[in-house]
Amino acid sequence: MALNDLQQQEIKQQRAEQFQTRRATVPALEEILYDAVPLLDHGFVRVVDYMGDDAAIVQAARVSYGKGTKQVNQDRGLIHYLMRHWHTTPFEMCEIKFHVKLPIFVARQWIRHRTANVNEYSARYSIMENEFYIPTQSQISPQSSQNHQGRSEGETLSAEESARVLEILKNDAAQCYGHYEELMNADREGNILDENRQGIARELARMNLPANVYTQWYWKVDLHNLMHFLMLRADSHAQYEIRVYADAMIDMVKRWVPIAHEAFEEYRLHSTHLSRKGLDVVKAMISGRQPTLEESGLSKREWSELMEKLGKAA
C-alpha cells in the first residue's frame, strides 16, 4: 500500500475542508487536490497546494491588473508566444507544491534539479518504513551498450536470471531492514526489542539502508522550473523509475494550467533543438541534397541523434 492509515486519514480530512478565498482557483485541479496517485510499488505523488493559473501568466506578462484580456484566444496566443521565445519569468509567477513518496535512488536524481524548495522525511528523527522498491520483471534489463548511464531498451533478462535478481533484491532488503532494527534495538513503531541491550542512534542506524528504500518529501516549485524538470524527466531516455513520476505530474499540470500545458507540449516536450550544423543539414535535405556525415561536420553521435529526430536511418 502506498499510503499508511495515518496518511489516508489526513487526506480524508484535507479533502473534507472547504475555504473561501478571493484568489484564483482551478476547478480541475481542485478535483484531485490532496489525492495521491500511486506510482511504482509503494510510491505516490499528490498536489497539496498551488498558486496561480493561466491568467496569472498573462497578467505577469502584461503587468496588468485583474485577469488580463477577456479573450481566451489572445491569452492563448500570448502564452504560446512566451513559450516559443523562451520568455520564462511570467511562468515563474505560478507555483505548485507536491508531496512525493519515492525510492532514495530516484530522489538523488530528482534533487539534481536545484530550483525548488524541498523538505524531506528525517531518518534522524523518525524510523524509516519497511518499504523497498522492487522492480517488475519487465524492468530488469542489462546495461545498454550505447548509453553508458542507462539500461538496454527493449531487452530483458531471461526468466531465470530475472527471478534471481528479484530474489537478491528482496533478500537484501529484508536483511538490511532487519539489521536496521537491530542496530537501533527498536522496531518501526519504536518499541524496544531487547531490554538488556542499548541501540545506536537512528542517524547512525540509517546508513545501513540501501538506495531502494522509500523516502518522502514536499517539493515546491514554480511552473517554469517544473516544466524544465518535466522536459528532461519525461523524456524517453530518462530512467523509467523517475519518468513515471514525471508523466503523472504532466497530467496534473494539464489540469492546472491547460493553455501553458498545451504550449509546453508543443514547444518543449515534443519539439527538438538543432545546432547550426544540424540546421545546415536540414536545409540541404530540403533543397534535395543528401549530405553525408563527413561533410556535415557533426560527430557520429550528433549525426545519429539528428537522423533519429528526423525519422531517418543513421
H-state helical runs in the chain: 5-16, 27-30, 54-62, 72-84, 104-110, 159-184, 202-205, 223-233, 240-256, 258-264, 276-286, 293-296, 300-309
Per-residue pLDDT reduced to its tens digit, 142-169: 887 766 667 767 777 888 999 999 999 9
Residues of the chain with pLDDT under 70: 1-2, 64-72, 146-149, 152, 314
Residues 128, 160: one domain?
no
87 and 21, same domain (yes or no)? yes
Domain shared by 259 and 288, yes or no: no
Instruction: State the pairing for strand pair 117-120/214-222.
Output: antiparallel
Residue 64 confidence (pLDDT)? 60
The predicted pLDDT at position 278 comes to: 95
The pLDDT of residue 53 is 97
> What CATH number does the domain containing 253 carry?
3.30.1360.170
- 13 lies in a domain? yes
Residue 314 located in a structural domain: no
Catalytically active residues, by annotation = 233
Of 54, 49, 117, 76, nearest to 254 by C-alpha is 54
Same domain, 154 and 254: no
Number of domains the chain contains: 3
CA distance 153 to 19: 48
- The residue out of 161, 190, 211 marking a domain boundary is 211
Same domain for 119 and 265?
yes
The pLDDT of residue 4 is: 80
**Residues 125, 64 share a domain:** yes
Same domain as 125, residue 231: yes
**Would you say residue 246 lies in a domain?**
yes
Cβ-proximal residues to 66 (8 Å cutoff; 6+ apart), any chain? 59
Check if the beta carbon of residue 219 is closer than 8 Å to that of residue 98.
yes
Domain range for residue 150? 134-211
204 and 192 assigned to the same domain? yes
Same domain, yes or no, for 141 and 84?
no
| Same domain as 99, residue 244 | yes
pLDDT of residue 143: 82
State the pLDDT at residue 148: 64
In a domain, 174, yes or no: yes
Are both 29 and 154 inside the same structural domain? no
Give percent above pLDDT 70 in the chain: 95
Whole-angstrom CA distances from 282 to 78, 122, 180, 209, 308 are 29, 52, 58, 51, 13
